[in-house]
A and B are shown apart, each in its own frame.
Chain A
Amino acid sequence: MTSKTFIVIVIIALLIISCDDDAENITGLDFSGSNGVFIVNEGNYTYDNASLSFLEFSSQKIYNGIFFTANGTNLGDVAHSMLIYNNKGYIIVNNSGKIIIIDPDTGIMVEKLTGLISPRYVYNVNKTKGYISDLYSMKITMFDPEQNALTGFITVQNNNPINQHSTEQMTGYNEFVFIACWSFDNQILVLDSLTDLIVDSITVTKQPNSIVLDCLHKLWILSDGGFPGSAYGQEIAALTRIDAETRSVDLVLPFPSLSDSPVDLVINGSADTLYFINNGIYRMSVTDQKLPDKPSIVVRNENFYSLAVDPVTSIIYAGDAIDYQQNGLIYRFSPNGELIDSFRVGINPGSFCFKY
Chain B
Amino acid sequence: MKNFKRHKIKYSFFLIFLLPAFPGIILSQSISDTIHIREVTIVQKDLLRESAVTLSKMDSFALGVTSKRNISELLSQHSNVYIKSTGRGTLSTASIRGTGAGHAQVLWNEIPINSPMLGQVDLSQIPVCFLDEITIYSGGSSLYQASGALGGIISIENRPEWDKETGGSLSSEIASYSTYNLSGRLNINRIKWTSKSRAYINRSLNDYPYLNTHVVPNTNEKLHNGEWTKSGLLQEIYFRIKSTDQFSFRLMCQHTDRNLPQPMSYEGAERKEYQEDRNLFAGLSWKHFGQSNQFEFSTAWIDNNLKYGLKSAEWDLYRIRSDGHEKCIMNRFHYTRQLGLKNKLNMQIRFNRYDVNMYEQISSDGYKAKRSDLSTMLNISREMSDRINAYMLFRNNLVDAHRMPVMPSLGVAVRVLKENELWLKSNISRNYHFPGLNDLYWIPGGNPNLKPEESYTADLSADLMLGNDFISFSSVLTGFVSRIDNWILWKPTQYGYWSPENIALVLSRGMEFSFKSSASFGFCNIMLRGNYSLCRTTNENSVYAADRSKGKQLIYIPVHTANIHSGISYNGFSVNYSLFITGKRFTQSSNEDAFYQNALNKYLLNDFILGKEIDMQDFNAGIYVGIYNIFNTSYQVILSRPMPGRNYSLALELSF
A residues at B contact (CB < 8 Å): 20, 23, 44, 46-49, 51, 64-65, 68, 71-77, 93, 95-98, 100, 109, 112, 114-118, 136-138, 157, 161-162, 184, 224, 227-232, 261, 263, 279, 300-303, 320-327, 329, 342, 347
Contacts and interface: CB of A to CB of B under 8 A. Distances in A.
B327 interface: no
Interface stretch (B358-366, B375-383, B478-486): B358-366
B546 A74 contact: no
Contact of A95 (B263, B589, B639): B263
A325 B494 contact: no
Interface stretch (B54-62, B214-222, B623-631): B214-222
B315 A157 contact: yes
Interface in B444-493: 444, 446, 491-493
6 contacts: A65-B595, A73-B215, A76-B214, A76-B263, A136-B319, A325-B555
B41 interface: no
A136 B587 contact: no
Judged by DSSP, the binding face of A is loop
Given A322-B546, A326-B589, 5 more contacts: A44-B639, A47-B639, A98-B268, A112-B267, A232-B364
Contacts of B28: none
A73 B319 contact: no
A98 B267 contact: yes
B265 A162 contact: no
Given A97-B266, A136-B319, A227-B497, A48 B589 contact: no
A64 B365 CA distance: 39
A114 B639 contact: no
A95 B444 CA distance: 21
Interface in B290-315: 312, 314-315
A117 B268 contact: yes
Nearest to A96: B265
B312 A136 contact: yes
Contacts of B317: 136-138
A74 B548 CA distance: 22
B590 A74 contact: no
A323 B269 contact: no
A96 B491 contact: no
A321 B364 CA distance: 30
* Residue from the set A47, A75, A302 with the largest chain B CB neighbour count within 10 Å: A47
B594 interface: yes
Nearest to A301: B545
Contact of B214 (A20, A73, A302): A73
Contact of B588 (A46, A136, A326): A326
B502 to A, nearest CB: 14
Contacts of A46: 263, 639-640
Nearest to B215: A73
B538 to A, nearest CB: 14
B598 interface: yes
- The interface centre, meaning the residue of B269, B361, B364 with most chain A CB atoms within 10 A of its CB, is B269
10 A-B pairs with the lowest CB-CB distances in the bound complex, closest first: A97-B268, A76-B265, A326-B590, A231-B364, A48-B640, A325-B589, A301-B545, A114-B267, A227-B495, A96-B265
Interface string B436-449: 00000001101000
Nearest to A153: B314
A322 B444 CA distance: 22
A324 B363 contact: no
A227 B442 CA distance: 13
> How large, as a class, is the contact surface on chain B?
35 or more
Given A73-B213, A112-B267, A137 B594 contact: no
Contact of B365 (A98, A112, A114, A230): A230
B546 A329 contact: yes
Contacts of B640: 46-49, 77
A115 B363 contact: no
Contacts of B269: 97, 115-117, 137
A71 B218 CA distance: 10
Given A76-B214, A137-B312, A301-B545, A326 B266 contact: no
Classify the secondary structure of B's interface with A. Answer: loop
A46 B91 CA distance: 14
Contacts of B590: 325-327
B186 interface: no
A231 B535 CA distance: 44
B22 interface: no
A16 B352 CA distance: 60
Contacts of A230: 363, 365, 443-444
Given A20-B594, A227-B495, A329-B546, A77 B267 contact: no
A96 B264 CA distance: 8
A171 B543 CA distance: 37
B597 interface: yes
B544 interface: yes
B549 A325 contact: yes
B265 A227 contact: no
B496 interface: yes
A76 B218 CA distance: 13
B165 interface: no
Contact of B263 (A96, A300, A303): A96
Nearest to B641: A46
Given A73-B213, A229-B365, A323 B597 contact: no
A64 B595 CA distance: 10
A323 B544 contact: yes
B494 A261 contact: yes
B495 A323 contact: no
B263 A77 contact: yes
A224 B266 contact: no
A303 B544 contact: yes
Contacts of A347: 588, 598
Contacts of B213: 72-73
Contacts of B548: 322, 326-327
A261 B363 contact: no
Nearest to B592: A327
A136 B318 CA distance: 9
B544 A302 contact: yes
B547 interface: yes
B292 to A, nearest CB: 55
Interface string B358-396: 000111110000000000000000000000000000000
Contacts of A23: 594
Contacts of A303: 544
B271 interface: yes
Nearest to B495: A227
A322 B549 CA distance: 10
A117 B494 contact: no
B265 A48 contact: yes
Contacts of B271: 97, 117
Contacts of A96: 263, 265-268
A263 B494 CA distance: 8
A268 to B, nearest CB: 24
A322 B544 CA distance: 6
A74 B597 contact: yes
Nearest to A320: B546
B541 to A, nearest CB: 10
A347 to B, nearest CB: 7
Contacts of B315: 138, 157
A356 to B, nearest CB: 27
A74 B312 contact: no
B293 to A, nearest CB: 51
Nearest to B589: A325
A222 B563 CA distance: 56
A231 B363 contact: yes
Nearest to A209: B496
Nearest to B442: A229
A112 B216 contact: yes
Nearest to A207: B496
Interface in B593-644: 594-595, 597-598, 639-640
Contacts of A72: 213, 216, 218
A325 B492 CA distance: 11
Contacts of B362: 161-162
B154 to A, nearest CB: 26
